[in-house]
Amino acid sequence: MFNVSFDGDTFPLSDVQENPARYVKRLERAKVTPGYAVCLCETDIAPLQLVIRRYGSLLHLAGWPDDGHRHKRGCAFYKDPNAAKPAGGGDSTAAIMATPAGLIVRLDVSLTLRETTSGSRGSPAQSSDRTSRRSASLLAFLQTLWSEAGLNQWTGLGTVRHWGLCNAMLLAEAGTALINGADAQKVLHIMRRFDEADRAAINAEFDAFIARLTIDDQGATHRGLVIGEINEIAPTQYGHALSLRQSARKYYAGSTLIDHASRAYRHAWGALGDRAARVVALPLVERTPKGHLKLIDLAAMLCSSTFIPCDSIHEVAMANRLVAEHRDFLKPLRMAPDDAMLPDFVLRDTDTPTHIEVYGMNGLASYEARKEQKRALRLARRVPAIEWNVDREALSAIRLPRVGAKRVAAT
């Protein structure tokens, strides 16, 4: 739908994002001269410059800093100027901070472990902070990365989003990130979309990342983070093996970790195998002396068929319907507990933004109290809302408001 230009030619943005290996040489030349690519999404203004950024063996396009609002709505580089403030804001003690130079993340897991003099594993090696900073869970980091990449929203253009686009948008945000003081490229591997023609290159790139997960000369064990879509979790003789759709590589875990994950991420776990949903994983892994990948920790995030994050399988159904009907909407992620009116979705194509609530825990006292509190706040603030009580109504019976006149005129 949108085109980009570099190395003296014009290309569909979707193809550049889905098939980055095809454009390595041309992007390498453009990175030298003139030093950037351009986005052609807007025809009424001068072409907008794009950053050409290397991550691993490939090069990717990212939006120019503070330029996102100038891109056309629906372009992968568009940033909503009315969206929530960046993670962390100006709080220097926040676990995740979005800065002009990129995300700065402090996780509550250790990416490096050092041996003590007795040979046992000692304290984790952490980056030194002048101020005491909080730490974030793996799930909080995954949600933040999703939000910063704009993958928690839909503009109503098209009905499909493949992993290749997710990979490109995530890399655009993670390319300059610091995670526990280390460059993201050294500790985070975002799986590429699998393509049989690129099998050797994809495997070589992943093997190069895994090769860095070693015990160094100082006795420190280096771990890594991987982002991909879960394909299967199968029992083994000693526990379980997890695999991702983008690679046949197995990640081995004991039953204790898998049992904990199944409880901590029960909605995601319950959706495994459901073709209407997707489950994205963020494993923390070590490489064993025999070269196997051992799961140390794991976060799992339930998503719709187009990778919109969801909190339940009923939200998946609603998100899938909104996409199928070409609605423009946002899925607010629950990283702001101070937001007393946080809805499940926000329709952005109505004249006044409309909240959507999916009620699936009816009867629970605390849930009912929270429901009434949010209703009262919306009434006081005159915020329109659509409610779906999953126990009483079929999703098809829910009437969504019409697209607003302003949005119709704009399209």
| Residues in Cβ contact with 185 at an 8 Å cutoff, skipping those fewer than 6 apart | 55, 56, 175
For the chain, what percent of residues have pLDDT higher than 70? Answer: 90
pLDDT band at 404 (very low <50, low <70, confident <90, very high): confident
Q: 147: helix, coil or strand?
A: helix
Top-confidence range, 216-230, 314-328, 393-407: 314-328
For the chain, what percent of residues have pLDDT higher than 90? Answer: 69
At 406, which amino acid appears?
Answer: K
pLDDT confidence of residue 74: 87
For the segment 261-310, what is each residue's pLDDT rounded down to a tens digit? 999 999 999 999 999 999 999 999 999 988 999 999 999 999 999 999 99
Nearest to 69 by CA among 51, 83, 57: 83
Q: How far is CA 70 from CA 4, 49, 161, in A?
A: 15, 11, 23
pLDDT band at 411 (very low <50, low <70, confident <90, very high): low
pLDDT confidence of residue 254: 95
Q: State the CB neighbour count (10 A cutoff) for residue 392.
A: 9
Q: How far is CA 400 from CA 107, 112, 384, 387, 411, in A?
A: 40, 50, 11, 10, 19
316 φ/ψ angles, rounded to the nearest 5 degrees: -55, -45
Query: Would the pLDDT of 409 be above 70?
Result: no
C-alpha to C-alpha distance for 407 and 404, rounded to whole angstroms: 5
C-alpha to C-alpha distance for 15 and 380, rounded to whole angstroms: 47
- Buried b / exposed e over 347-382, threshold 16 CB at 10 Å, is bbbbeebbbbbbbbeeeeeeeeeebeebeeebeeee
Query: Would the pLDDT of 117 be above 50?
Result: no
241 φ/ψ angles, rounded to the nearest 5 degrees: -125, 130
C-alpha to C-alpha distance for 35 and 89, rounded to whole angstroms: 30
C-alpha to C-alpha distance for 229 and 236, rounded to whole angstroms: 20
Paired tokens of 204: 């070589």
pLDDT confidence of residue 116: 52
C-alpha to C-alpha distance for 386 and 408, rounded to whole angstroms: 21
C-alpha to C-alpha distance for 50 and 46, rounded to whole angstroms: 13
Of 123-132, 149-158, 187-196, the poorest mean pLDDT is in 123-132
Nearest to 314 by CA among 401, 389, 397: 389
| Residues in Cβ contact with 344 at an 8 Å cutoff, skipping those fewer than 6 apart | 311, 315, 318, 331, 332, 355, 356, 357, 358
Phi-psi region of 363 (alpha: psi -120 to 50; beta: other; left: phi over 0): left
C-alpha to C-alpha distance for 273 and 313, rounded to whole angstroms: 12
Q: For residues 37, 89, 335 and 331, what is the CA-based torsion angle, rounded to 10 degrees?
A: -40
For the segment 202-215, what is each residue's pLDDT rounded down to a tens digit? 889 999 999 999 98
